[in-house]
Amino acid sequence: MALAEEAVQVQLVAHHETVFTSEELEELLAFLESDEPISPNSGSEGSNRAVYSKDERKQRRMISNRESARRSRWRRKRHLENLTKEVNRLNIENQQLKNRLSLVVNQHHVAWRENEQLRSESKALWTKLLDLYWTLAFMQSQ
């Protein structure tokens, strides 16, 4: 029972991280379920490691390459999705900034017109004040 739970955990890890192919998982599970002791010289002649024929190695390599290509396509798809989300977010932000800029430009135009009107009124008042000053000076001189 514990071995079956470990197998499920190994499969979950392997599926999630896509580290092992299904054949490698089956081989690993078979090894874990066997009662054979682990030899200290795993790299020597007494190794439990399976020896594959040329066709089997080619087949395993093809499967591994397909899995690698699948992972690559998945990563590329995720990257494209992330870039698409970023483009959409930046387009929204750009539109918000354009709206704010338009509002500021309108406020600037209103303030500029108000400023021009105040300058015109100021000039008219200075002219009126100067006329009053000259009228007062003329009246005092008589």
Q: List the single range of 24-28, 63-67, 79-83, 136-140 with lowest mean pLDDT.
A: 24-28
Residue 72 has pLDDT above 80, yes or no: yes
Which 8-state DSSP code applies to residue 40? Answer: S
C-alpha distances in angstroms, 29 versus 39, 41, 92? 17, 21, 51
138 against 142, higher pLDDT: 138
Average pLDDT, the chain: 82
Q: List the single range of 26-35, 83-92, 132-141 with lowest mean pLDDT.
A: 26-35
What is the C-alpha separation between 72 and 67, in angstroms, rounded? 9
Structural domain boundaries in the chain = 57-142
Percent of the chain with pLDDT over 70: 73
| Ramachandran category for residue 18: left, alpha or beta (phi over 0 → left; psi -120 to 50 → alpha) | left
79 against 21, higher pLDDT: 79
C-alpha distances in angstroms, 57 versus 23, 24, 52, 63, 71? 12, 12, 6, 10, 21
Residue 106 has pLDDT above 70, yes or no: yes
Mean pLDDT of 115-126: 97
Give the tens place of pLDDT for each residue, 30-56.
777 766 555 555 444 444 456 789 899
Contacts for 62-67 with beta carbons within 8 Å, 24 or more apart? 63/21, 63/23, 64/21, 67/18, 67/21
